[in-house]
């Protein structure tokens, strides 16, 4: 499975949280979890809710430490001990979290340019790029709205382009379209594929939605119930560009959907 070109690789990753007061041990959330992501690959990971998908991405982004195992970034070993964490790996790994995590005291435009500001990269060029992204996700005209004045879907889109705007080579996404309605979701998925096709970034996309996992990914990993391991792997042969408006009709979709559904039972 591993290859020298892998953008990101994890080997035998395991995680358990500190025991709760009055409890001697807490259960393993991840155990022996291994996979790798190729350069410019769109990898989707599908698992039931509560299986540890968010926990996994928190470890990959180094927001949280691992209990065991290792991670390699472009072949280089990364220390995953809690004391040595380097969140985002110097802006090489972007993370679109499950919650939008917009800053409530900043307007939309200040929120989406926040990483650029932190990195000292806010200039005319990046601002022009930002305008393009705002347009792509239909947020033009809301620049000066505060997050509480936006709908859930708009906030989600804002958090998505906040990460896309600073162009990290690897992007982790945690059910980014979980909380939006069906039509908007299809639109956002289509936008994401288009943006990905333009920049060809490496994406690790986590979801509990089997259809979404197959429709978007080059490769689908199936996670077991807790403790999570990779139990199946599928290469998605559906050619790109894919028309997501009726992906149920795409060649080979139905069979794979049935297979994954049974694997998750």
Partner 1 sequence: MSAVAESLPFPVPRSRRRWIPYGRIGVALACFALWQFGSYWMGKEWLPGPVATFARIWDLALSAQLFRDSLVTFSEAAAGMILGGVGGAALPFLLRLSPRLLKASEPFLSAAFGVPKLALAPLFILWLGIGIMTKIVFVASIVFFLMFYNGMAGILSVDPRLVAMARVAGASQWQVTRHIVWNTTVPFLFAGLKIALPRAISGAVVGEFIAADSGLGWYINNSRSLNDTVGVLAGVIVVTILVIVVNAVLQRSQARSLAWRPVSRDMVV
Ligand X SMILES: Nc1ncnc2c1ncn2[C@@H]1O[C@H](COP(=O)(O)OP(=O)(O)O)[C@@H](O)[C@H]1O
Q: Which x/- pattern over 74-103 shows residues binding Mg ion (rule: CB under 5 A)?
A: ------------------------x-----
Q: How many CA atoms lie within 13 A of 8 on its CB side?
A: 24
Dist CA 168 CA 91 (whole Å): 6
Is 156:96 a contact under the CB 8 Å cutoff? no
Is 30:60 a contact under the CB 8 Å cutoff? no
Q: Which x/- pattern over 11-50 shows residues binding ligand X (rule: CB under 6 A)?
A: ------x-----------x-----------------x-xx
CA angle 24–53–227, rounded 5-degree value = 40
Q: Which residues contact 8 (CB under 8 A, 6 or more apart)?
A: 36, 37, 60, 71, 72, 73, 93, 170, 202, 204
CA angle 81–85–86, rounded 5-degree value = 150
Provide, rounded to whole angstroms, the least separation between the CB of residue 174 and Mg ion. Answer: 6
Provide, rounded to whole angstroms, the least separation between the CB of residue 49 and Mg ion. Answer: 7
Provide, rounded to whole angstroms, the least separation between the CB of residue 22 and ligand X. Answer: 14
58 binds Mg ion (CB under 5 A): no
Residue 5's binding partner out of ligand X, Mg ion, partner 1, none, with CB under 5 to 8 Å set by partner kind:
none
Rama region for 167: left / alpha / beta (φ>0; ψ in -120 to 50; rest): left
Where on the chain is the footprint of partner 1 (CB under 8 A)? 61-63, 87-88, 90-91, 93-95, 97, 99, 101, 103-107, 114-115, 118-119, 146, 148, 162-163, 166
54 binds Mg ion (CB under 5 A): yes
User: Of 230, 191, 238, 197, whose CA–CA distance to 214 is shortest?
Assistant: 238
Provide, rounded to whole angstroms, the least separation between the CB of residue 168 and partner 1. Answer: 9
53 binds ligand X (CB under 6 A): yes
Distance of CA 229 to the CA centre of its chain: 18
Provide, rounded to whole angstroms, the least separation between the CB of residue 220 and partner 1. Answer: 25
67 binds ligand X (CB under 6 A): no
Residue 114's binding partner out of Mg ion, ligand X, partner 1, none, with CB under 5 to 8 Å set by partner kind:
partner 1
Provide, rounded to whole angstroms, the least separation between the CB of residue 27 and ligand X. Answer: 7
Chain residues in the site for ligand X (CB under 6 A)? 17, 29, 47, 49-55, 226
């Amino acid at each position: 499975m591993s290859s020298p070109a892998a953008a990101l690789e994890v080997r035998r990753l395991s995680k358990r949280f500190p025991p709760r007061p009055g409890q001697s041990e807490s259960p393993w959330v991840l155990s022996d979890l291994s996979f790798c992501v190729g350069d410019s690959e769109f990898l989707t990971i599908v698992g039931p809710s509560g299986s540890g998908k968010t926990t996994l991405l928190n470890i990959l982004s180094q927001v949280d430490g691992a209990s065991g195992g290792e991670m390699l970034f472009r072949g280089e070993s990364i220390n995953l001990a809690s004391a040595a964490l380097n969140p985002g790996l110097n802006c090489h790994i972007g993370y679109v979290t499950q919650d939008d995590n917009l800053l409530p005291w900043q307007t939309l435009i200040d929120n989406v340019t926040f990483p650029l500001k932190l990195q000292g990269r806010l200039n005319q060029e990046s601002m022009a790029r930002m305008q393009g992204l705002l347009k792509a996700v239909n947020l033009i005209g809301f620049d000066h709205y505060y997050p509480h004045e936006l709908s859930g879907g708009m906030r989600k889109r804002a958090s998505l382009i906040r990460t896309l705007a600073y162009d990290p080579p690897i992007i982790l996404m945690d059910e980014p379209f979980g909380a939006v309605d069906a039509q908007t979701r299809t639109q956002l998925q289509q936008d994401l594929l288009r943006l990905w096709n333009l920049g060809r970034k490496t994406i690790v996309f986590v979801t509990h939605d089997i259809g979404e996992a197959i429709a978007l990914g080059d490769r689908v990993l199936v996670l077991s119930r807790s403790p999570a391991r990779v139990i199946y792997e599928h290469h998605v042969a559906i050619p790109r560009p894919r028309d997501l408006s009726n992906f149920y009709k795409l060649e080979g979709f139905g069979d794979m959907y049935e297979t994954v559904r049974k694997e998750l039972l």
